[in-house]
Amino acid sequence: MRKIIICSHGNLAQGMLNTLEMIVGHTGNIEAYCAYVNEDEAIDEMLQPILKMNQGNELFVLTDIFGGSVNNEWMKALPENPNIHLIAGMNLPFLIDLVTRMEDSKDVDALIESCMANAISSFTYCNKLELDECDDTEF
């Protein structure tokens, strides 16, 4: 089974999941984990149960920022868990694209690269748009 695990500093992961479900509906194969919202729980303690529960599943793990503590802890898990695809720098366009295409895709590397390219192309500096380029039908 393929699953998506969204992990972040603070409540970003839960917010991403809430927004995603508002757009695509509940899928049941996505979980959000918010680090550092409970002072008593260390990120490494959060990962162990996730890994244990998902043995045998193919995991797409999305973290908020490359080099951050959440991402770094997942990086440590990669050598012993070849079933994990770790992607740092999550955003909503990437997540929507991944959710809607992951079950039908056989080439995971190509899927991830394509979702990343689509997410990058979604960035728009709106101040640079000409007003006549924008009409209500584009939004």
CA angle 54, 23, 11 (to 5 degrees): 55
> How many distinct structural domains can be found in the chain?
1
Q: What is the mean pLDDT of residues 3-18?
A: 97
Residues 19-69: tens digit of each pLDDT = 999 999 998 999 999 999 988 788 888 899 999 999 889 999 999 999 999
Percent of the chain with pLDDT over 90: 79
Instruction: List strand residue ranges (DSSP E) for 79-127, in order.
Output: 84-88
Residues 94-109: tens digit of each pLDDT = 999 999 999 998 999 9
What pTM does this model have?
A: 0.89
Task: Specify the CATH number for the domain of residue 80.
Answer: 3.40.50.510
Question: Rounded to the nearest 5°, which phi and psi values hold at 136?
Answer: -60, -25
For the record, the structure tokens of 45 come out as: 């303690």
The pLDDT, as a whole number, for residue 133 is 60
Q: Domain range holding 126?
A: 2-138
